Structure 1
């Protein structure tokens, strides 16, 4: 029963992301789409916390979320609309860099008992994350 509830909550988060994309497709509904996306992300993050048997490094996780909010929210509120593409490029680059770093840490943690599939996906994630990071930073600097 617990797995069914977690699955339904995960499905709800997915539906919220889809509705967010639909809302972001038109200027009149973009604000609502943005809020639905934020709600979907919040639901997904909370779901992950409740699914874990043991949460390791909770202080680091909460600190990272607080730091991201402390930097991201004021930046998003202060930026002028003409500078929005630069902000989006910067945020995208940070996400790509984070994905690459997480993949590297997972490789270092599991390198002893790693399957070939895990290795392929890890290397692919590092490549995509680094390309996203470098491309976004180049875009940020050119805009």
Structure 2
């Protein structure tokens, strides 16, 4: 099972995104058979699939993958978990690419809230989110 995942990683690193997507979807199908629906490993697979879909400019599909990831993360991890913050950032970046700035503030605010309470502080990530918030605010003004 993990060989399929590694194959997806290799294809992604080579820029062969369609083959990577096929491998990750095959890996996901195996996980869905062997793991519970809320298993955290599924979240990471959905996130990887979403990342590849973004590379292929399949934005609606990527958003769906990220949302599936987020549902599992929020049901399986503490609400202030760093991985949830990063998923909020991924969703925000995707929405910004689509010009859907009005949907970004909640995701960015939640991400920033988690990051500000993380120890040690993740200053680079905090600065990144603040820049994203400023960009969204300028687009909404």
The structure whose residues are more often helix, as a share, is: 1
Greater Rg over alpha carbons, structure:
1
Higher relative contact order (CA 8 A, sep 6+): 1
TM-score (ref. length: structure 1): 0.42
TM-score (ref. length: structure 2): 0.42
